Structure 1
Amino acid sequence: MMQQLYDFLEQQPFLVSILRLLFWVLFIIVGIRLLRKIARNRIDNVSFRYKTQKGIEVFGYVLIAILFLVFFTAGNIKDYSLVIGLFTAGITFTLQELILSIAGSFYIFAVRVYTPGDRIEINGIKGDVIDIDSIYTTIMEMGEWVSSDNYSGRIVKISNAFVFKGPIKNYSMDFPFVWDELNILVTYESDVELAKKIVLDSSMELLSDYVEGSKAKWGEMVERYYIENATLEPTIAIKLTDNWIEVNVRYITDYKLRRGTRHKLFDSIQKEALRTDGKVILASATLQLLKIPEVDVRIKHNG
């Protein structure tokens, strides 16, 4: 039986080459997993451990690519060019999404579209990137049923192929600040100039560190990209409505602290408004129910 198998393999050099290639590919994959496990157990520093694991993974895939390159350029398979062409075309069509995902991973690392730790929005999903491998980008999701910039608790895996299919919104690359707005509603009986002063002073006091920290980063943005200079200090705009006066403040803050900044800013403005002894009154939608006047109906009977 063994002799027959040996004779058969001797007559099929191409099959032997395929089996040898698959063996080495399997050997490299097992080696990658083993080395990643060793790095995970032996390295304490989180950042260095992550980079080491990624380096091992990339090195392994490079070795596999070299194996395939050597295999398809070897002289002993030149008679199988048609078979190889059809086989390659079939594999490419069947695994096009997988191939595009692997290409996307190289594109992400080469161009630095985003890196672990960045806050991005891709394919309608927003969150922090916690891992990037050869096929998927793993995101800690934000939003959905949770308000503002809070984690929902779900881990989302997105194919790296999406970097070629749509826009990627990065909240932290190059300029780790975002502009936000807060509307303060005051009644028409309020001192509007005092209300504007309270809103602006509270914003300047609370956000001065963000403004100073963002100036250097914005300067780098202006030098690197075709973009106009922007006002980084808080600005005020007034809007009159049917019910109240809307004082809008636009300000810059850290992209990870947007929710906390809004809370602190509104709390500060509210406390200052209460100290004005009624000169500035925060407005709200109210509904007043009026009592219907009583009607005295008397029926007069004839006879």
Structure 2
Amino acid sequence: MGNDGGSIPKRIELVKEKQKEVRPDQNAMKIATWFFCALSKRPLQDPVVACALGKLYNKDAIIEYLLNKNAYGDGDIICSHISNMKDVQSLKLAANPAFKETNGASIAHFDQGMVSRFICPITMKEMNGKLKFVYLNTCGCVFSEQGLKEVPSSTCIQCGKSFNQENVITINPSPVEQEKLKTDLEEKKTKAKEKKEKKKNKVAKQESGEVIAESSSSNAPNNKRKRENNSDEDPKQSPSKKPSIKSEVGVTANNTNSSTSVNCGIGGNSVTAVVNQKVQEHLVNTSSKTKQSKAIRSIYSKKKDDSVTESYLVRGTFNRYAA
């Protein structure tokens, strides 16, 4: 420890201090997120797409990832929320006329003088991460947030499609904003899944109801035949279901005239009642028009030459021996 010809340790060698957190260079992070594809790490080139979290990708890289999930090593971490092309929005970017192709551009050789490929069509500011940019998920047009506020409108000034504040998505948001967007995205997916399941169950119920209706309609003729057979074979069927017809016709003749009376009882059948009424009228007419014989008329008729000498026993009677 001393006076022995050895070395004297320093405090840094004896006391272990907490290591300082290594923070990435913010400028390098901006270059990586605004100039390069988040998945393939290649420079952004048209066509460019963006996801619901605001990350930028080359379209061909997303297609490769969807065809082969192992095409990129960290694909399942970066874009696990992308399952098809409907989960991304194609962007309509305004080209920067001041941009020139440079060979060997990479994150390792960046500088603050890098020129972006794209600009805001309203303010003509470059999309390099220094200003906040947004896109509309209804049409895919890209503007700077400042330029969109300077021209307040409910329709896109480039394509004319209507939009609201919910359709404005921030490009490359901060980690806090990104977490909020991720939560909102998960809620939307859950609601969409529940809605899809409800619709599927409703369709299944409708199909099952149609099958039951078809089966019942196909069995209806058989059930009808069974009911008819049962009604024919059942002697104890209620009288209300069997039609009852009772008719009584009486014809009475007296000394002066003859009359006919017809009494008909029909259970709720108007047609039969009309027929019986016609029969009654016919019988009355025919009975009244029946011709009486001379012998019958002579009994009830009074003769002019009747004399008092005749006996009451033979008066008005037919006698072949009478003069």
Q: TM-score, normalised by structure 2?
A: 0.21
- Name whichever structure is richer in strand by fraction: 1
Bigger Rg, structure 1 or 2: 2
Structure with the higher helix share, 1 or 2: 1
TM-score between the two structures when normalised by the length of structure 1:
0.22
Q: Which structure has more RCO (C-alpha within 8 Å, separation ≥ 6)?
A: 1
